[in-house]
A and B are shown apart, each in its own frame.
Chain A
């Protein structure tokens, strides 16, 4: 297993378009997290899954954002009607139970 995989690595989109990112966690990890990181800032929590259940969502996750984790394996994060303020690095992480997170390399979103 090569760790947490995120795809694409970089996405450039026009304002108003929808985008979808994918995260493949470490296979035995039952917990999956999405964070957002803007330049010069630390990662900010967006949402958390335990297996396929989405258990917690930040208020940062507006109604334009939706995340899924069908079958408790990979996860997708969709942003509808993108805005320039959505430009950021979107990080996925996974963990097994209460162990420390392993982050992926992130998807860098640029909204033009």
Chain B
């Protein structure tokens, strides 16, 4: 079993839809959680990071962590075609800060005009 699991998709939605992207993780020691966006043939770009459980909002993006169920979510409001990319979730055990991230496989999102 992988430490971080993601549905690879693709997830196809029309422009303007609310998108929900999810991950589960198995390592109870994870304290920090991140969402990265990766366009084709580019490096991952940090979107959001959260510490422990709770919600964090940044513009159209909301990250949610539920440590009791080991569930991580990213919500995208008013999705745009430019949001079409692969979204990677990642966790870190906090004992090492950001030294080592464990990534999921990524979910490919397609937003159609």
Contact = CB atoms under 8 A, between A and B. Distances in A.
Interface of A: 4, 31, 33, 40-45, 48, 55-56, 91, 93, 95, 97-106, 108
Contacts, number: 60
Interface residues of B, number: 25
Contacts of A100: 34, 46, 49, 98
Interface of B: 4, 6, 8, 34, 36, 41-46, 49, 88, 90, 96-106
B21 to A, nearest CB: 13
B100 A42 contact: no
A105 B43 contact: yes
A103 B105 contact: no
Contacts of B43: 4, 91, 93, 103-106
Contacts of A4: 43
